[in-house]
Structure 1
């Protein structure tokens, strides 16, 4: 009886968590920053920070982590707080259009003095927070758009405490 009760208690505690998390099958090689949860990406590729459109763009969004494609390659420097393009040298992610609800993040020339380019990654919570307001997290919109053979979502900022975990946990792959 005790074994059955213990097994039931263990399953009751772990199954609800397992049912929410859907781990993506990342095929991209190189440094990327992607959501820990697949979050309904149709091909199980996951969601990466990406330049909008093909190749270089000054606007960022979240996109299916393409098996091939240099515009999804991003690094994080914990010392400076910069999220930089690994492909387009000298360009960094910036919260430079806060009034734009669909595309507040841009890719601009890196400037360590620019507060809009400073992010804080918390290893324990896996959250990317805005350096100048750490109550705000980098997240994705709930809406999925078609993007050719892939999918995209708006990359946005929202109050960390208002977000479901699966929308705000990021993996930094080096």
Structure 2
């Protein structure tokens, strides 16, 4: 008898969750001019990436970067923005710290009512301090996060990215980044 009551509770919970997800999807669909990618929309986000892997300019390293950003949709689905890079690389010896400033452009592509992909191309000027030396370099980034629009103004996402560093030591980093943001 007890398990039958638990089954009903599970069905009621599942139905409630399904209704909530559908209501969120309808809220995004009926948001009108405030839909992500609409001309005049302002997006505030933070890209966070962390990975363990190989950088072409060195040994395997663990690195984490935070990129607070702001973007503006100039026309339908076409964005222009800027970002600040704050990061650290944990490695043998002194850990390096990185700061930078960049600009980027993007194009939002809707895949369905609540999911889109937002490929972006960026150009930044970064500075690294190794503790025993430093370097300044140009960073070219290309990423394509898939966004899930949870409400009419909030989204989360993740996707692949490639960053090429041009300077004294040229390197390329392939990574997966997460994205959290809102728009108005």
TM-score (norm 1): 0.28
User: When you count strand as a share of all residues, which structure comes out higher?
Assistant: 2
| Structure of larger gyration radius | 2
TM-score (norm 2): 0.26
